[in-house]
Every structure is written in structure tokens, then in C-alpha cells.
Chains A and B, each alone.
Chain A
């Protein structure tokens, strides 16, 4: 087998096969439980978490300690958010939105700080204005993340899981494309693999409605998405508007609050999410084309892509 074929197969295994297998096992387990068993929502949530974690570990490896690459904080954030999700799932209004908001703020603030810590020196060396600009973006991003998390949490409480997971999966898919266009195949692959896991759990929840996915677990997927997108903005130079649109894409889940049947809810949620997702993809492509034109292409017309390093 030649090296190119081996590279394609290993890419497929890490991006698709492993996350799907990891997410499928708890779903199979949930199907074996009696209807109404207390563990069912836990296993649905576990399927999502297993898929997301396996996607990260499969594509980018285990985090070491002390933490090497900042992207490993995404993995810890997803696990942390899922753990908080277990607690959140037991809360009811009026306490729930307040607690969700508080927890979301703390989780996002902590992990955004950890994710961006290695860049502090970079900003300090560039003067006060860029620092303020970056700080403003961190604040913007934090607020957008919070809105996305709260919005999806609200949808998850009132709409079926497939209509909530579908726009999240679409956001991951759009992020995968935009990150690759912006310059990192591995981070794009991570977003794609996470999207595959979310999509599988969404399809399973549609096919077998008794496989319930805890609302808190959906929040973990949103945290994974917003931190991958933030990482891509700060480390891969994904343009700011692209990142902003991708973070807001999961809010399409609110479309699931309309419509009568599940397929209608899923279709509405996807239609709503498709607008920012497609715009983000288009903007990423435009930015890349503009950069190439500005640089004159380089390499004497040599066409560079990730399959032709």
C-alpha cells in the first residue's frame, strides 16, 4: 500500500470510524436497557461525550502534563462541561437558567483563559491597541459562547434531541471546512470528527426516541465547538467574522421549537443554522482567496493543498 493511500485510510479511521464506534457503544447499551430505566439519558449523554473525546484523542492525541499544545484544553473543557451537565440536568426552573448561566460563564472564562494563555506574550509585545482589540474579541467571543450555550440549552429542554444535535453537527461540519481553508488540516479534522460523533448520536436519537440525550451533554458539545472555533481564530488566523458566525450556528436549534413533527423540527433547525454556516464558509473562502492574491500565490503557480504537502 502506498503512503498516500495509507494517509487517506488513517484519516478516515481517526475522523470517522473511531468517533462513530465510541459513540455507538453506549447507544447499543442504552437500547439494551428497559424502557424508562434511569441510566438511559446517561448513556445517551455518555455516547456524545465518548464520541467527542475519542474524536479529540484520535486526531490530536492524549494531552500530556504539563499541558503541551493549548488545544488539549478543549478536551478537558468538554469533559468538564459534561460533568457539570449531569448536575444541570437535575435542576428545574427558575433555578436552572441562573445556574446554567453562572456555570457556563465560569467554564467558558476558565477554559478560554487557559486556551489563550500561551498568546499573552505575543499580544504584550505588540502594543496597547492590539491588546485592547484582542481583549474585546475575547469578551465578544465569551458573550457569543454564552448566548450559544444558553440558547441551545433552552432548545434542548423543549425540542427533541435530533433537532438540537443537527445544527450543532452542521456547525462542526462548517467549522471543519472553514478551519481547513484558514490553514490547519488537523484542527479542521478535529472539528469534522466531533461533528461526526454529534451527527451519529442525533441520528440514533431520531431512530430510537427512547435513547435520550441529557441536556447537559448537548451543552458539552457546544462548549467543544466554541473552543475549537476560538482556537482556530487565535492560532490558525481564522477570520473573526467566520468564527463569530460559526459560534452562533448552533442557535439554529431554536428552530426546533417550531414545527409539529420531528422531521419538521429538524428541517427548520437545519435551515436556520445553514444561514450562518454557509456564510461562514463563504467568508472563509473569500478571505483565503484575498490572501492568496495579496501574496501573489507564491511557489511559481504551484498548487498547494493538504493532499500535496
Chain B
């Protein structure tokens, strides 16, 4: 009898856990309303800005709270407004997009921190994966005129490009690169 009771308790506990994760739903990143910007200091003079045009992925959301992040950026979509420089950024001097076509971030732990979240995850750039922890803000949530439920998150953080094996022009371009990410997720997409 005791064994039956303990089995039922274990089953119930397992069921609760399963239900717990099942509640987190995928909210697909809306590529038309997702931004991955970066800035890097040029010859110690001024920050220069660029962006990646193609950003995808998804958020895991449960009860309006962030539970997981999975962002995928097309490295070849890098854009700074100067075609020749964009080609150079795609080359092996920087992102080497032929060999490393994606930049990704996959969360491994999400914790509530004030109004936002502290998200730990694996950031992969240039084929090198590093675990980083970033602050993520929930920027809004609501329905659009077409009935889609949307949720927004944003995060600014700084990385060292040398940590990811991008060392070209170490004297001309700063090692620190500021990343500014913002994206809307659509429920069920």
C-alpha cells in the first residue's frame, strides 16, 4: 500500500513538472519587428553602428513571463550602409559567414530580476560558444489590430569580440562591441 501511495505521489509530482513546462508556449520572433544592432569604436574616435537585417527565433513565455530565449541571426545580413564594408564584414576577417552562417543565443537559465529577467545562455558567434548572463527587459505585451498576441523584450550588453575569435584590426577597432537587441514575439507563430 505504502509503495502504491509513494508511486502515486511520484507520478503526481512528475505530472506537475510536465504540466509546468507544458505551460510555457512558443512565441515566434517577428522578423519584421526584431532588431540586432551593434556598435564598435573606430580608431578610438567614435562609435560606429551596424545591424543584422535577418533576426529569427522564439521566446518561451508562461503567464506573460519569460521562460526561455532562442535567437538566431543570419550573419550574412550584416549591414552598415556601405556595401563594400558589409562584404568585408562577411569575409573571414570578421564573421566568415560562409563557414559560420549563424549567430545564436540559447538560454539555459532565466530568473526574474526586478521588472525584468537575468538570462544566462550560450552565445555563439563565429563558431565560438560562450556562456553569458544578460539583463533582459520586458518592454510590453498586447494584441495587435489583427488579433495577434504580441510580447516584446529588449537587452543591451557588451561582449569582447576577441572572446569569439574575431581579432582582425585589433588596433583599429575596439575589442568591446555593444549589442542592442529588441524583438517582438507572436503567440503561436
Contact = CB atoms under 8 A, between A and B. Distances in A.
B112 interface: no
B85 A309 contact: yes
Contacts of B81: 298-299
A309 B96 contact: no
B163 interface: no
Contacts of B43: 2-4
B169 A7 contact: yes
A299 B84 contact: yes
B154 to A, nearest CB: 28
Interface in B55-96: 81-88, 91-93, 96
Given A183-B87, A298-B84, A68 B92 contact: no
B96 A7 contact: no
Contact of A186 (B83, B84, B92): B92
Interface of B is mostly: loop
B86 to A, nearest CB: 8
A298 B171 contact: no
Interface string A279-298: 00000000000001001111
A71 interface: yes
Given A295-B83, A298-B82, A299-B85, A70 B99 contact: yes
A70 to B, nearest CB: 6
Given A61-B167, A234-B98, A184 B91 contact: yes
A6 B169 CA distance: 10
B116 interface: no
A140 interface: no
Nearest to A232: B92
B169 A235 contact: no
For A61, A68, A118, A309, which residue has the most chain B Cβ atoms within 10 angstroms? A309
B165 interface: yes
Q: Which 3 A-B pairs have the closest CB atoms?
A: A298-B83, A299-B82, A7-B171
Given A4-B172, A69-B92, A186-B92, 10 more contacts: A10-B170, A69-B165, A118-B99, A183-B87, A187-B93, A235-B91, A298-B84, A299-B83, A299-B84, A304-B85
Interface of B: 42-44, 81-88, 91-93, 96, 98-99, 101, 126-128, 165, 167-173
